[in-house]
Amino acid sequence: MNQSQTQVDSSPSQEIQFESDVTVSLVKSSASDADVIWAARVSTAGERSQESINQDAKAASGLINFLMRERHGTPFEHSVMTFYVKAPIFVWREHMRHRTASYNEESGRYRVLEPVFYVPAEDRKLVQVGKPGAYVFEAGTNEQYQIARKEYEEACTQSYHAYQRMLDAGIAREVARGVLPVTIYSSAYVTMNSRGLMNFLSLRLKSEGAKFPSYPQREIEMVAEKYESIFAELMPITYRSFVDNGRVSP
Amino acid sequence: MNQSQTQVDSSPSQEIQFESDVTVSLVKSSASDADVIWAARVSTAGERSQESINQDAKAASGLINFLMRERHGTPFEHSVMTFYVKAPIFVWREHMRHRTASYNEESGRYRVLEPVFYVPAEDRKLVQVGKPGAYVFEAGTNEQYQIARKEYEEACTQSYHAYQRMLDAGIAREVARGVLPVTIYSSAYVTMNSRGLMNFLSLRLKSEGAKFPSYPQREIEMVAEKYESIFAELMPITYRSFVDNGRVSP
Amino acid sequence: MNQSQTQVDSSPSQEIQFESDVTVSLVKSSASDADVIWAARVSTAGERSQESINQDAKAASGLINFLMRERHGTPFEHSVMTFYVKAPIFVWREHMRHRTASYNEESGRYRVLEPVFYVPAEDRKLVQVGKPGAYVFEAGTNEQYQIARKEYEEACTQSYHAYQRMLDAGIAREVARGVLPVTIYSSAYVTMNSRGLMNFLSLRLKSEGAKFPSYPQREIEMVAEKYESIFAELMPITYRSFVDNGRVSP
Amino acid sequence: MNQSQTQVDSSPSQEIQFESDVTVSLVKSSASDADVIWAARVSTAGERSQESINQDAKAASGLINFLMRERHGTPFEHSVMTFYVKAPIFVWREHMRHRTASYNEESGRYRVLEPVFYVPAEDRKLVQVGKPGAYVFEAGTNEQYQIARKEYEEACTQSYHAYQRMLDAGIAREVARGVLPVTIYSSAYVTMNSRGLMNFLSLRLKSEGAKFPSYPQREIEMVAEKYESIFAELMPITYRSFVDNGRVSP
């Protein structure tokens, strides 16, 4: 009898899938521009800052801009967002270097991982030009794209079949998963406050207007872009001020 | 002309006040037992853990209890609470050693501090008996209470008057405040997740049922008690499990 | 012309290698039992705690034991160790969830990764028995070991060749690496203080004497064991006390 | 019998003292420019970065400058310093908002605090001119200095005597200390890595050359200046690069 099989709590769909996007959705939030106001005002108004709690933040965009420009970061820590994110493991490897966030991720020890793999889309720039520290990415040829696509598909399929054969032989998930490639998708919940999120955006999103240039890998930038659009909606004044001040995390 | 006076953004009420309590109120929260469920389930269910997002947590109290007992702490990090707290400075000194929280406090550099001072209440145990590392507190005599009360009132009043005289002489707030005693109240916003909060409770609240004994100063314990009752209401299953497992922070 | 090739700063040895161990070496340290003494004594002796700075820690093992038992963790934060660690990526994925450490790791974006892969040794327990939350690992049969070995070797070799073909086609390293399996080795420097290290040991090393049971994956436990033996040598009294108090991180 | 007296582990000198400086001394360090080199090189050289461990850092000042300019902060986290610092409580209140450091401080609960108080020196600028967010400090008149000096001396002396009378009456130290002013000195050990230290310097030290202006209170700036001169000696290339790049913490 196959011991491992009996413990599988979610049997993977057998069809191997390839996708070229990442998923980011907002699970919940307690985040608004108004939070920044009372958090900042307590320094000058003490107890009476509580009057700002249900106040309209619009009148206070000057204060938010001042905090951002002068890098008073702490008032941005009380606004908190939780995201569900599905991204390849090589993205998670970079993401989890951000230590002020909270994470819970699916586990290759506790479940059979599903055969869903990231593969670069046709418009993903494939060629790196330049010297260390000053790279530029350029579009690959169609031939290069076809090579990448083919190599990804073959390698992921072979690896996943090896994974399945080990599982079928009763080998533990945590051992069998060793052969799975870093392009396999994994799901996690990420909770960050808006200060941590702006730090993430400043490092993981390339922008002309940034005071300090960043060179993120495209795939984590795709996550950052989705974070950014949710953030812009939840905290429009803070976001605008972040952009206007050169995307320097306060 | 008195330069400092013109910058005073909140003229203090001149009446010197003494109080014997601390204030804790919930400003906002994004915290529920249900958060713990999807955060934990992602490890075994991956993407499908999202089905738990709006689920009733009651059926899952066994899971929460398992996480607490086995000290899987991260699923408790997605539940976040913001408190307004007013407490003496000597309490803040201890509170701010908790480094996983976010703080914004009123500033003695940016405002004139108000003459509101903490003084021990009659039931505050005043006498410390025992050797280092194994102290017990016992009730003081009425005479001791009267002495404490009188010394607090006189010292605080004298200090505050010295503060005012320096301000009146045009000396900067940040210099004048040096004479203010650590029993003066200060207000701050504190944002913590439920894991950080349980750590706080495990260290700052004395309880018979605790697996690891704690010897908090009474005044920070008063803050902890108020945190605890808010936490118990927001996350009743988590709180019950925390208590049942000996108040060990997961 | 192959643009990527010209930027390769370290051409990988072409021979694909399989290893079954992890590497941990001490790069440097500023860590001794004596550190704990002055750090703890400042609370009761203030300025005069400096007299303990070059003192023998042996006489103070009672103090260290007291701190450990009562969970006074902060005096253990001033002792710091830096390790060079070489381990499979699936180990790093778990390791980097420890957020109080400092990391620098080799980069699949900046260099061509070398074809060195972890493969389970013959004595690695391969079969997982039990239900979620209460697993036990048992030795596999020789046949299971042969299957694992063969699948690892084939999958890693195929993946690495796919990686090389993409590099040869001028595709950027950060894209090509997507097909590499999580069992590939990666090198990093890790700096931790002794409090963080004890937390790591309490979670990543299984021990009969532990008050709170842990179920680490064997491969990160191998790293933990090597950390532990270095730690035991640098801070023998602290280590002894940690073990004697049930391996509860203070 | 006076119960509190018997527990006093260090009887305070009764002479009330006033000082106008802060103390910072290096207790120990594991910090050098060379650390930054191997930590950075692991990203491009992997295992072979170990060859840099005992290398001369001088040849690599270009690399350090690159890291600083591009804000690659993590390679600066492996260099660690421990300081003994004696400063007024109002300085500690600001200092301990830096959450990536490790602290152990003397305790007003466990010892009788000594009557040593900070008082502004004659050259301390006493008058604040300007509006919130854009203050300038100017020298006070001699009369203002005399007022400050006198008020400090009287208030501190009165408060300390109140403290002593409560102790003499058998009231616990943790209660009696409530009347002590925030200008009383306290001692602590602080461990920081060079990244955290540069963050501290960027916020707590005013400099013409800083890209982002800071307005620290003079007394914490005095601590920062002493940190800075020790840091400059331990890691001269890193320090020079920090200054040359506008004192932006990487």
* Mean pLDDT for the stretch of residues A66-85: 97
Average pLDDT over chain A, rounded to whole? 93
Weakest mean pLDDT among A40-49, B4-13, D24-33: B4-13
| Cβ C46 vs Cβ D10: under 8 Å | yes
For the cut 50, the answer to whether the pLDDT of residue D8 exceeds it is no
Tokens of A125: 């720039």
Per-residue pLDDT at A1 exceeds 70: no
Is D218 known to be catalytic? Answer: no
Confidence label for D24 from pLDDT (cuts 50, 70 and 90): very high
Instruction: State the pLDDT confidence band at C54, using cuts at 50, 70 and 90.
Output: confident
Residue pointed to by tokens 């320096």: B166
Contact with chain B for residue A46, Cβ under 8 A: yes
User: How wide is the angle at C-alpha B8 spanned by C-alphas B3 and B13, nearest 5°?
Assistant: 130
Residues 6+ apart with CB under 8 A from C59: none
Q: What would the mean pLDDT of D152-181 be, rounded to a whole number?
A: 98
- What is the helix (H) or strand (E) element at residue C186, kind and residue range? strand C185-193
Closest CA to B133 of D171, D7, C240, C248: D7
Please report which confidence band the pLDDT of residue B3 belongs to, taking 50, 70 and 90 as the band edges.
very low
Q: Which of B225-239, C2-16, C172-186 has the lowest mean pLDDT?
A: C2-16
C170-177 average pLDDT score:
98
pLDDT of residue D215: 92
Of A130-139, C19-28, C46-55, D160-169, least confident by mean pLDDT is A130-139
Give the mean pLDDT of B3-24.
67
Where residue A130 falls (left for φ over 0; alpha for ψ -120 to 50; beta otherwise) is: left
The stretch D19-47 carries a mean pLDDT of: 97
pLDDT-derived band at B188 (thresholds 50, 70, 90) equals very high
| The predicted structure's pLDDT at residue C2 | 34
CB B180 within 8 A of CB B159: yes
Residues B44, A77: C-beta atoms closer than 8 Å: no
Handedness of CA A217, A223, A226, A228 (dihedral sign): negative
Q: Is the dihedral of CA B171, B175, B181, B182 positive or negative?
A: positive
The packing angle between helices A33-45 and A236-244, to 10°, is 80
Q: Chain D contact for C77, CB < 8 A?
A: yes
Query: Could you tell me how far CA C95 lies from the centroid of its own chain?
Result: 6
Q: ipTM value, please give it.
A: 0.93
- C-alpha to C-alpha distance for B172 and B202, rounded to whole angstroms: 40
Strands lying side by side in the sheet with C80-88: C23-30, C80-88, C185-193, C102-105
CA D26/CA D82 separation, integer angstroms: 6
- pLDDT of res. B1: 30
Chain C residues lying within 8 Å of D47, measured CB to CB? 86, 106, 114, 187
Dihedral of CA D119/D124/D127/D128: which sign? negative
Q: What DSSP string runs through B35-87?
A: HHHHHHHHHHHGGGGGGGTTS-SGGGHHHHHHHHHTT--GGGGS-EEEEEEEE
- The CA dihedral of C9, C12, C13, C15, to the nearest 10 degrees, is -170
CA–CA distance, A77 with A35 (Å, rounded to integer) = 9
pLDDT surpasses 80 at A6: no
- Please report the pLDDT score of residue C196 as a whole number: 98
In this predicted structure, the answer to whether residue B121 has a pLDDT above a threshold of 70 is: yes
Residue C137's identity, in one-letter code, is: F
Indicate the range of B46-55, B107-116, C171-180 predicted with least confidence. Answer: B46-55
Helix (H, G, I), strand (E, B), or coil: what is residue D220?
A: helix
Cβ atoms < 10 Å from Cβ of A64: 24
Task: Classify residue A48 by its DSSP letter.
Answer: G
Query: Is the predicted pLDDT of residue B132 greater than 80, yes or no?
Result: no
Q: Is residue D1 scored above 70 in pLDDT?
A: no
Tokens standing for residue D199? 């963050």
pLDDT band with cut points at 50, 70 and 90 for residue B2: very low
* Chains touching D (3+ CB pairs < 8 Å): A, B, C
* Per-residue pLDDT reduced to its tens digit, A104-137: 999 999 999 999 999 999 999 999 998 766 789 9
The span from the CA of C229 to the CA of B156, in Å, is: 55
Tell me whether A159 touches chain B (CB under 8 Å): no
- Residues near C121 by beta carbon (within 8 Å), at least 6 away in sequence: C20, C21
E strand or H helix at D5, and its extent?
Answer: helix D3-7
Helix (H) or strand (E) holding A227: helix A218-234
How many beta-carbon pairs under 8 angstroms link B with D? 175
Q: Which of A4-13, B235-244, C72-81, C235-244 has the lowest mean pLDDT?
A: A4-13
Of C118, C129, C151, the CB nearest to A166: C151
The pLDDT assigned to A127 comes to 97
The pLDDT value recorded for residue A9 is 40
* Smallest CA–CA distance from A97 into chain D, residue: D74
Instruction: List, for residues D65-120, the tens digit of each pLDDT value.
Output: 999 999 999 999 999 999 999 999 999 999 999 999 999 999 999 999 999 999 99
Q: How far apart are CA C12 and CA C19, in angstroms?
A: 16
pLDDT at A121: 97
A 10 A CB-CB count for B172 gives: 28
Buried b (16+ CB within 10 A) or exposed e, A88-121: bbbbbbbbbebbbbbbbbbbbbbbbbbbbbbbbe
**What integer pLDDT is reported at residue A160 of this predicted model?**
98
DSSP C165: H
**pLDDT category of residue C157 using cuts at 50, 70 and 90:** very high
The pLDDT-based confidence of B57 (bands split at 50, 70, 90) is confident
Distance from CA of D44 to the nearest CA of A (A): 9
Q: Do D128 and B173 touch (CB under 8 A)?
A: yes
CB of D135 within 8 Å of a chain A CB? The answer is no
Q: Which of B70-84, C2-16, C168-182, D64-78 has the lowest mean pLDDT?
A: C2-16
Give one word for D247, left, alpha or beta, with left for phi > 0 and alpha for psi -120 to 50.
left
What are the strands, taking DSSP E only, across A152-241?
Answer: 185-193
Contact yes or no for A180/A108 (Cβ under 8 A): yes
Cα-based angle C130, C135, C138 (whole degrees, multiple of 5): 85
Residue D82: beta bridge partners?
D28, D191
Distance CA C187, CA D136 (A): 50
| pLDDT at residue number C250 | 93
* Residue keyed to tokens 């009761």: C44
Tell me what the mean pLDDT of segment A25-47 comes to.
96
Q: Do B235 and B31 contact (CB within 8 A), yes or no?
A: yes
Q: Please, what's the b/e burial string for B191-213 (b: 16 or more CB within 10 A of its CB; e: otherwise)?
A: bbbbbbbbbbbbbbbeeeebeee
Which of the 8 DSSP states describes residue D158? H
Write the burial class of residue A62 (CB in 10 Å: 0-12 exposed, 13-18 middle, 19+ buried): exposed
CB contact under 8 A, A77 and B102: yes
Q: Which helix or strand (DSSP H or E) is residue D137 part of?
A: strand D134-138
Contact C127 A151 (CB under 8 A): no
Tokens 């720039």 belong to residue? A125
What's the pLDDT band for C5 if we cut at 50, 70, 90? very low
DSSP β-ladder status, C23-30 and C80-88: antiparallel
Most C-contacting residue of D51, D99, D102, D192 (CB-CB within 10 A), to test interface:
D102
SS3 state at C62:
helix
Minimum CA–CA partner of D80 in chain C: C80
The pLDDT value recorded for residue B179 is: 98
d(CA C156, CA B131): 63
User: What are the beta bridge partners of residue D17?
Assistant: D116
Between CA D210 and CA B230 the distance in angstroms is 44
The stretch A54-62 carries a mean pLDDT of 85
| Type of residue found at B76 | F
Q: Is the pLDDT of residue D26 over 60?
A: yes
> Which of these, D141, D40, D30, D33, lies nearest to D82 by C-alpha position?
D30
pLDDT of residue B249: 93
Report whether pLDDT(B228) > 80.
yes
For the record, the structure tokens of A9 come out as 């709590």
Q: What is the pLDDT of residue A227?
A: 98
3-class SS of residue D14: coil
d(CA A219, CA B209): 49
What is the predicted pLDDT for the residue at B59? 82
Q: What is the pLDDT of residues A130-169, one digit of tens each?
A: 876 678 999 999 999 999 999 999 999 999 999 999 999 9
Write out chain C residues lying below 8 Å of B66, CB-based.
Answer: 133
Catalytic, out of D204, D218, D240, D247: D204
| Cβ contact, residue pair D70, A213, below 8 Å | yes
pTM of the model: 0.94
Q: Assess whether pLDDT exceeds 50 at residue C22.
A: yes
Pairing of strands A17-19, A116-118: parallel
Contacts of B61 (CB under 8 A, 6+ apart): B33, B237, B240, B241
The residue of chain B with its CA nearest to that of C98 is: B74
Chain D, 207 to 246: residues with Cβ < 8 Å from chain A are: 212-213
pLDDT above 50 for B206: yes
Evaluate whether B139 touches B126 at the Cβ level (below 8 Å). Answer: yes
Cα→Cα distances D165→B129, B155, B158, C45, Å:
18, 12, 16, 22
pLDDT at A58: 83
